[in-house]
Chains A and B, each alone.
Chain A
Amino acid sequence: MSWRLFAQTLRWQRVRLSVVVLAGIGWGVLMPVVYDAFSDVFRDMANSGAIPEEFLNFGSGSLFNLPGTITLGLQHPMAIAMVGIFAIGASSTSIAGERARGTLEVLLARPISRTVLYVSMSVAVLLTVLIVLLAILGGMAGGAAAIGLSDELDLGRMPLVLLNGFGLWAAFTTFGLAMSVTFDRPGPAIGLSLAWLMLHYFLEIIGSLWSDAAWTQEYSLLHHFNPGEILTGKLDPIDMVIVYAAAVIPVIYALLVFPKRDLPAPA
């Protein structure tokens, strides 16, 4: 682990991270507010048949209770975009970006191995993902407390939500990093990482909106992060195992591939 490289990788992200953390807090605060203000309205609309109930139970969430609303908030494209900026964008451009710019060889001319370079950058990017998740969950907990809904949330279970959520997004982050060590340009790395995320999102959403395709959800990593169930004491340890296993496999791939690949002079 190179602490200097770790710090510099974080430094490259600091402006973007600051903006996304603020947005994440705002988004988190918004979820309890939406639940408090519109839950009954949505229930009436569902009861009247104006909106299909599947739409209100989008993904694995629900607008009819606060834990379910938090699940919706974390599966909403807005939250996915905020975390994805780092889990997909920063991860897939980290090493491939250095390679495309030609700065990777300046870095690797220093006495650090490729493994150390990969680990240092990975830890830094994973930390940014953790910080964004913390901001969103912190906003949600803070928002619930601010409008007097703390009793509907078991805050003691929030660390488990964070742990599961981090495992999920670590899986996408390490996939992005694996693509980053594979390609010489960030374009293909971003494209494949984004496609991987979209595939899981598609499997989760199609399964939640169409009961005949409910089985597809099991194959989506997003389905293995359900904050609502964790907050109501129904954490399935298998979910945790699946997301962390999915995070470790790309790490093993990267540690095997990156040190062995040739790095010809940048074009």
Chain B
Amino acid sequence: MEGTTSESTAAISTRALTKHYGSVRALTDLTLDVNSGEIFGFLGPNGAGKSTTIRTLLGFLHATRGSATVLGLNMVSDSVEIRRRTGYLPGGIALYDSLTGEQVLDYLVEMQGREPKRRAELCDRLELAGSVLRRKVRDYSRGMRQKIGVVQALQHDPELAILDEPTEGLDPLMQQAFYAILDDLRSEGRTVFFSSHVLSEVERLCDRVAIIRAGELMAIHDVGELLARRRRRVTLRWRGAAPDPATLPGLADVHVDGSRITANLTGEVAGFVRSIASPNLEDLTIEPASLEEAFLEYYAPGDASGSEATDR
């Protein structure tokens, strides 16, 4: 199975993790491993079960059944030790409005019982100047609060960062700064598990991605492989009539409109380009592979089981 490694090297390992609220199945039989040192994306729309998974791993919710280890520690019996070695950014983080940003960070790192080794660097990269940190949180914009959230999660240099939709509210510049921070964490051997419904950031950051839908794991993929496998949308325009599409290799869902052919390219790009080389070819557009198509494949109505069967 592509998504499974041995538990000894896994930063997070879940086995049939399930959380039901009465008849509501928030999470069902989630089995996955997150390798140490990787950035693992947990992708799904709102209500898919991403936050439920995270909250169960951190002990906020009690699993209906199944088990999990985090950093080799039992999710239930070692919850406090797990949180000592973990940094967590909740989705839509709430902070203490009556404190300044600096007081919030001081308070939370003291509660963590660790030195804020990374705080200065993180504040610098996220453009949290001293004058900003000395302002009350109640005066912060949503983006500022999110930055404080990121800093509180990472300031003590955790071995594992669990981030629930971390870029919510960050402007594009800050998102780039945040991505760079995660890249550095990965290069230092830290593990990052983050949930998102933003495909582009998963594509940009993650080594692997799990796709979850209605509380069930649909697939776990290596992001590079997934992108390589993606169908690319191809548009060709010819001088004169278009050739017979059957003579063009690797095309599917072909649509011919006079001199114009649009299709999905399922095969290798280089071979395809060689095969169409012709003086009559006037224009060629190959749209970049996007994770969005993969995502839509898993979330197309009534098309869950097929994907699950082939990819898990």
Q: Tell me the A residues contacting B by CB distance below 8 Å.
A: 2, 4-5, 8, 12, 101-103, 105-113, 260, 262-266
Alpha-carbon distance between A5 and B108 when the two chains are bound, in angstroms: 10
Query: Hey, which chain B residues are within 8 Å of A110, CB to CB?
Result: 83, 108, 111-113
A4 interface neighbour in B59, B62, B81, B110, Cβ under 8 Å: B110
Residues of A within 8 A of B111 (CB): 2, 4-5, 107, 110, 112
Q: How far is the CB of B138 from the nearest CB of chain A, in Å? A: 12
Closest CB of chain B to A208's CB: distance in Å? 42
Contact (A265, B91) CB under 8 Å given A103-B96, A108-B60, A111-B84: yes
A106 cross-chain contacts in B, Cβ below 8 A: 90, 93-95, 108, 152
Does B135 belong to the interface (CB within 8 Å)? no
Beta-carbon contact of B62 and A262 below 8 Å = yes
Contact A102:B93 (CB < 8 A) given known A111-B113, A263-B60, A264-B61: yes
Measured CA separation A5–B81 after assembly (Å): 18
- B80 close to chain A: CB less than 8 A: yes
B92 is an interface residue with CB less than 8 A from chain A: yes
Contact-residue size bin, chain B (C-beta under 8 Å from the other chain): 20 to 34
Interface presence of B79 (CB below 8 A):
yes
Contact among A2, A102, A109, A264 for B92, CB-based, below 8 A? A102
A4, A103, A111: the one contacting B83 at CB < 8 Å is A111
A8, A111, A263: residue with the most chain B Cβ atoms closer than 10 Å: A111
B95 touches A103 (CB 8 A): yes
Which residues of the other chain, A, contact B153 by a CB distance below 8 angstroms? 109
Is B100 located at the chain interface by the 8 A CB criterion?
no
Q: Are A265 and B94 in contact (CB under 8 A)?
A: no
Given contacts A103-B96, A260-B62, contact A109 B90 (CB under 8 A): yes
- What CA separation (Å) do A101 and B51 show in the bound complex? 18
CA distance A266 to B93 in the complex (A): 10
Indicate which residue in A101, A112, A262 contacts B80 across the interface (CB closer than 8 Å). A112
Q: Nearest Cβ in chain B — how far from A226, in angstroms?
A: 40
Q: Which residues of B contact A112 (CB under 8 A)?
A: 80, 83, 111
CB distance from B164 to the nearest CB of A (A): 9
For B82, the closest partner residue in chain A by CB is A111
6 intermolecular pairs with C-beta atoms under 8 Å apart: A12-B98, A101-B94, A102-B92, A102-B94, A110-B112, A113-B80
B46 vs chain A, min Cβ distance (A)? 11
- Distance between A215 CB and nearest chain B CB, rounded to angstroms: 44
In Å, the complex CA distance between A2 and B83 comes to 15
Q: How far is the CA of A42 from the CA of B112 in the complex (A)?
A: 60
